Amino acid sequence: MSAAAIELIGVDKRFGSVHANRDIHLTIEKGTIHGIIGENGAGKSTLMSILYGFYQADSGEIRINGKSTKITDPNAAIGMGIGMVHQHFMLVENFTVLENVMLGVEGAPLLKKGIAKARAELKRLEQEYELDVDPDALIEELPVGLQQRVEILKALYRGAEILVLDEPTGVLTPPEADHLFRILEQLRDQGKTIILITHKLREIMAATDNVSVMRQGSVVATKKTSETSVEELAELMVGRRVLLRVQKGEAQPGEVKLSVENLTVRDSRGVIMVDNASFNVRAGEIVGIAGVAGNGQSQLIETIAGIRAAVAGRVLLDGQLIDIMGAADPGELRDRGLAHVPEDRHHMGLVLAFEEYENSILGYHDDPLYLKGPFLDIDAIKADARKKIEKYDIRPGDPNLKTANFSGGNQQKIVLAREIERDPGVLIIGQPTRGVDVGAIEFIHKRIIEMRDAGKAVLLVSVELDEIRSLSDRILVMFAGRIVGERDAEADEGELGCLMAGVEQLEAAE
Amino acid sequence: MSQPFAKLPAWADYGLLPLINLIVAFFVAGLVVLLVGESPIEAAVLMVKGAFGTGDGVGYTLYYATNFIFTGLCVAVAFHCGLFNIGGEGQAYIGGLGVAFVGLGLGDTLPWWIVFPLAIVASGIAGALWALIPAWLQARRGSHVVITTIMFNFIAASIMVYIVVQILKPMNIQSPETRVFGAGGQLPSLGWLLNAVGLNMRSAPLNLSFLIALVAAFLVWVLIWRTKLGYEIRTMGFSPKAARYAGISELRIIIITMMISGALAGMMALNPIMGAQHRLQLDFVAGAGFVGIAVALMGRSHPVGIVLAAILFGMLYQGGAEIAFDMPNISRDMIVIIQGLVILFAGALEHMFRPTLQRIFHGLSLKKDQTVPVIAGGGQ
């Protein structure tokens, strides 16, 4: 048997008091797809950053193809045949595919020769691995799935034998993800080694040969994928048994709380983002909006929440009009019982530089409860923050800690606690569990169901189809700004996937 | 992946790091002094002695510092809102009109303790109004305050020349200035304060506005960290998106913040006009508005840091004048070079030594806390 593609022996890394990787032993066989799964903060990304030369391990050894090596920077990693496909693409949007692929390896001060060579090489790669992309297409005009393919081509062009993909499916529709996995299999069959980092158990089961589970900086298990199960992996990840299925009873829908009629929203460039959308949400039900990121869901909920102005349509809250044209004041909507957990908690839902207690009143800072005249009543705010910390099990439970120092799950709990504890009639939630660990997901889902059972109207937007399916009572699918279908919670995943990809749209047009 | 290095303890962040920057700045400045053929050590001794060695030295140092506290606070308040107000110069200049208006109008009839509060209000209003137009343009039209405020500095300078020369200057005076205010338009000196610590201030112009500057620094702290308005200003400064989400009106906060900022700059005029010259002279701001930017940067936009940084720059001004006087090779321009170096290292190159320092502290913490439990990984 030939030497393993990668062997990590006792790799250890600390950031101050945070022990991000502890004594990692990991062997990745050549020509396999190896999954690495773990919650956020389990140390997956740190480990891969060490492998790619962004960080240096404090101790331990890395062997590539059996040879002990020091990876001092990403260039060294590329030199050793390691290629990385980042979660957020590192592409120049207004360059063509070809220009992006050859960026940094142009070969000469004048481009002409390099371009010819790159074009030939790209053609060869495309044929060998069936990775079709038009080399002269502009990146910004390509769909995300193809952009990702360009990232893979970039790595292969640099001679990568080992490909690391960091959460590659976050931006893809289910069919696109399936396509990606087929490409990966193809690459494996040609002898490449692939490391797939993800927190989605389903993908591990679908696409990998072996899987390693990380928890709190350690590799707790490495298994053959065929010999394990979703339940076992989940338990290994969290360290205890988790309920993967959300348990909820029958919905008891009441009167209409939120009604959206013919809503149309343009972005700052005048592009239509929400196109004539109509739907309503009733008390005691969860309406989920499924769709691939960027199909207008963000603009839709931001408009309803008063953050963004619409160009046409009406929105009624409890039968009363909301002034969506002038962008209603979000503060006023809060007073009328509309709470909003925004998709972008880092920039919108929270001020990361604030201490926890300061964020616990964001948007409700006009409430006399927290004020003494023009002054903040800091004692009252902190007491209130402590109560929420206890109720939502926010850790570490210190209202004076800077918000940036909380984990993703705990940051989300800060936002949820703030919005839910005001007992709103309508709750709008965007991406409730993005970047949130499995343990917290369970907690957050429970809270959302509780809101429904308490007779609140919940509008849920998520790019995680599983989440939409397990929480929603009704599912709306958005594609290119339009609501292209409504299904009930039992809808078939494949059917929803097609709707999300706009397939039915195309067929209707033909 | 957000924290590749250990976080610095507060004392290192706010004390050690600025100190290192300052030492390096002085070291490079020393090389410059060496280059023109003078002894850096002697120059340093001259500077410190000139600034703190005598009663009048201290008086002048704190007099200059008073100007810089006001303009530093002006820049800092805007910083907290994410705005870069570099119009402190013009706002202070126009603030002088407010002081002159009160000093000329009431100084002859009313006692200083009535005139002074009115002058504070008038200077503040004048400075605030001068900041209002750039603020409105930023909030409504998106015109960047950096551009508009610096243009307003030139407009202010021209307006003041016109007003002082054509309107306020008495016929019988040759230089461009107003007449001397009456007794009520003159602030008491703080000589008694220095006497209390055994110093004789002699003719140095340190006056009551120094104490007002300290009060202003305290009030800015209260405003920024203890009021609802300050909360809204900081939210806007850290994240305009979060402010929008929270229902904070961008228009309102930008205009209010810029007006507070302009008012603080305007109050700077109290010190030279009512405190020292007792008349409005052309060019009395003398670059204090720009020094305020360096002071705010160095003081990390915190009032305590600003007071300390202002005193440091006061020392550079006063001590620098002494060097220029005693060392013929070193002109006033040399002093500007030294000040520039301090700004360069303390402000612009603020992050130069941070990674190294972080690495050192990281190493120390590794040795110390092998047993500290894991909180969370470095994910995301």
Q: Are residues B196 and B233 in the same domain?
A: yes
pLDDT at B266 over 70: yes
Q: Which of A11, A12, A15, A431 to mutate to test the interface with B (most CBs of B within 10 A)?
A: A15
Q: Are residues A310 and A203 in the same domain?
A: no
Q: Are residues A44 and A119 in the same domain?
A: yes
Q: Are residues A220 and A82 in the same domain?
A: yes
Say what percent of chain B tops pLDDT 90.
63
Give the per-residue pLDDT at B365. 65
A306 touches A327 (CB < 8 A): yes
ipTM: 0.84
Q: Are residues B264 and B290 in the same domain?
A: yes
Using a CB–CB cutoff of 8 Å, tell me whether B244 touches chain A: yes
Contact A20 B5 (CB under 8 A): no
pLDDT at A507 over 60: no
pLDDT tens for B28-70 read: 888 988 888 888 899 889 989 999 999 999 999 999 999 999 9
User: Where in the sequence is the domain holding B360, given as residue range(s)?
Assistant: 8-38+327-365
Q: Which residues of A touch B5 (CB under 8 A)?
A: 15-16
Minimal Cβ distance to A347: which of B4, B234, B242? B242
Q: Are residues B288 and B306 in the same domain?
A: yes
User: Where in the sequence is the domain holding A133, given as residue range(s)?
Assistant: 6-238
Q: Which residues of A14-23 are buried (b: 16+ CB within 10 A; e: fewer)?
A: bbbebbbbbe
Confidence class for position A505, pLDDT limits 50, 70, 90: low
Q: Which residues of B touch A331 (CB under 8 A)?
A: 246-248
B52 is a domain residue: no
A406 is a domain residue: no
Q: Which residues of B touch A352 (CB under 8 A)?
A: 238-239
Q: Are residues A198 and A330 in the same domain?
A: no
B205 is a domain residue: yes
Q: Are residues A171 and A298 in the same domain?
A: no
A75, two tokens = 């260039």
Q: How many CB pairs under 8 A join A and B?
A: 134
Q: Which of A420-429, A490-499, B12-21, B63-72 has the lowest mean pLDDT?
A: B12-21
- Comparing alpha-carbon positions, the chain B residue that sits nearest to A404 is B2
Minimal Cβ distance to A347: which of B7, B234, B241? B241
Q: Which of A12, A18, A73, A86 to mutate to test the interface with B (most CBs of B within 10 A)?
A: A18
A356 is a domain residue: no
Could you write out the three-class secondary structure of A371-416? Answer: EECCEECHHHHHHHHHHHHHHCCCCCCCCCCEHHHCCHHHHHHHHH
Q: Are residues B75 and B113 in the same domain?
A: yes
- Of A211, A207, A217, nearest to A233 (Cα)? A211
Q: Are residues A128 and A49 in the same domain?
A: yes
From residue B372, alpha-carbon distances to A228, A399, B78, B131 in Å are 34, 21, 40, 51
Q: Are residues A229 and A283 in the same domain?
A: no
Question: Torsion-angle region of residue A41: left (phi > 0), alpha (psi -120 to 50) or beta?
Answer: left
Last residue of a domain, one of A206, A238, A270: A238
Confidence class for position A242, pLDDT limits 50, 70, 90: low
Determine the 3-state secondary structure of A316 from DSSP.
strand
pLDDT tens for A371-397 read: 999 999 999 999 999 999 999 999 888
Contact A40 B375 (CB under 8 A): no
CATH number of the domain that residue A234 is part of = 3.40.50.300
Q: Are residues B227 and B83 in the same domain?
A: yes
Using a CB–CB cutoff of 8 Å, tell me whether B144 touches chain A: no
Q: Are residues A231 and A267 in the same domain?
A: no
Using a CB–CB cutoff of 8 Å, tell me whether B5 touches chain A: yes
Q: Are residues B210 and B344 in the same domain?
A: no
Q: How many domains does chain B have?
A: 2
A284 touches A452 (CB < 8 A): yes
Q: How many domains does chain A have?
A: 2
**Eight-class DSSP state of A276:** E
- Rounded to an integer, what distance in angstroms lies between the CA atom of residue A54 and that of residue A462? 31
Angle at A337 between CA A336 and CA A341, to 5 degrees: 125
Nearest-CA distance from A446 to chain B in Å?
23
- Of B27, B51, B49, B53, nearest to B40 (Cα)? B27
Give the strand pairing for A218-224 and A256-266: unpaired
Q: Are residues A230 and A266 in the same domain?
A: no
